[in-house]
Amino acid sequence: CSSTTPITATLFPGDGIGPEIAESVKKVFTTAGVPIEWEEHYVGTEIDPRTQSFLTWESLESVRRNKVGLKGPMATPIGKGHRSLNLTLRKELNLYANVRPCYSLPGYKTRYDDVDLITIRENTEGEYSGLEHQVVRGVVESLKIITRQASLRVAEYAFLYAKTHGRERVSAIHKANIMQKTDGLFLKCCREVAEKYPEITYEEVVIDNCCMMLVKNPALFDVLVMPNLYGDIISDLCAGLVGGLGLTPSCNIGEDGVALAEAVHGSAPDIAGKNLANPTALLLSGVMMLRHLKFNEQAEQIHSAIINTIAEGKYRTADLGGSSTTTEFTKAICDHL
């Protein structure tokens, strides 16, 4: 599409801090003149029998139709016996890869100056298959499912991503020494795909060692691909390297060309409704969505405005050591635009 053709995108404001940071994205996008019309969908209050979750069928249809969307965090009540909203979205929309870039923000000093990592998380199976049951009283089982099809699909995505984004190395993260069958199959698939990309260096790193290497020297890594649970944990670790969860975006990629961007963080119930949340992670997710739509000019404008606002240091939210509210920080970004 050209950069002026209006596009309809689905927006899930989500729970907790979600509506506050979604409001920020809407303001910044409007100020930047992004030609996007939002189709807003909210998490329902009753289970929709068609989806077996609080997400309605109409919400899922909206993403399928628009093929692009932005999602705020959705809370998952622990042990309440209904399907997680995030799992429902990932499974129903076949969002098989979650791309989580993590880079040092110029002007915001942390222990590391040169972080530039891409975590690619398998998003549909592994430990998140949702297959748990009680065997006998006091004994429960959770099934970790790894399939050749899903492993090849995410490995293929990771290598293609590396190639098209000028990246040099793909590291498969695993625990195949212990989970020989499941992680073993995941690695086998990564190796198969690696053979098709001789120009990309391929390596395999055990997850515990990977954590140590990441905190010691994040520059050792480039693109990391891994099963679901490891991706969840490693990407939060990576967020910690550059300033925390308020900063790291992601985009879920589906098989039918669907892209649903979302922040890595959750609904942050401890600060919800207090106008304290950092909207950067969701804003940068919005930037990923714009790049996916080839709205490159607006994506770069918004990206620069965010980076410049943080670098200037006058307006920062509490997680970055500042005292600005979500609305003050958002206004500062709009002023930069």
| Distance between CA atoms of residues 170 and 299, nearest Å | 26
Beta strands in 42-155 (DSSP E): 68-71, 95-103, 116-122, 132-136, 139-142
Q: 92 vs 319, which CB is nearer to ligand NAD? A: 319
The count of chain residues that interact with ligand NAD, using the rule CB under 6 A, is 20
What's the burial of 83, exposed, middle or buried (CB within 10 Å: 0-12/13-18/19+)? Answer: middle
Cβ 117 to ligand NAD shortest distance, Å: 19
* 284 forms part of the interface with ligand NAD (CB under 6 A): no
Each residue 117-136 as x (binds ligand NAD by CB under 6 A) or -, in order, gives: --------------------
Each residue 234-273 as x (binds ligand NAD by CB under 6 A) or -, in order, gives: -----------xx---------------x--xxxxxxx--
* 70 forms part of the interface with ligand NAD (CB under 6 A): no
Cβ 124 to ligand NAD shortest distance, Å: 15
Contact between 282 and 70 (Cβ < 8 Å): yes
Q: 194 vs 310, which CB is nearer to ligand NAD? A: 310
Side-chain-side CA neighbours of 317 within 13 Å: the count stands at: 25
Query: Torsions phi, psi of 104, nearest 5?
Result: -65, 135
Sign of CA dihedral 155, 156, 159, 161: negative
Q: 218 vs 279, which CB is nearer to ligand NAD? A: 279
Token pair, residue 236, equals 């939060």
Cβ 132 to ligand NAD shortest distance, Å: 16
Considering only residues 278, 298, 301, 324, which one is a binding residue for ligand NAD as defined by CB under 6 A?
278
Considering only residues 11, 36, 68, 74, which one is a binding residue for ligand NAD as defined by CB under 6 A?
74
| Distance between CA atoms of residues 115 and 50, nearest Å | 43
Which residue in 246, 229, 210 sits closest to 117, CA to CA?
210
The C-alpha torsion from 148 through 153 and 159 to 163, rounded to 10°, is: 160
Cβ 107 to ligand NAD shortest distance, Å: 18
Cβ 266 to ligand NAD shortest distance, Å: 2
Q: Which residues contact ligand NAD by CB under 6 A?
A: 17, 73-76, 86, 245-246, 262, 265-271, 277-278, 281, 319
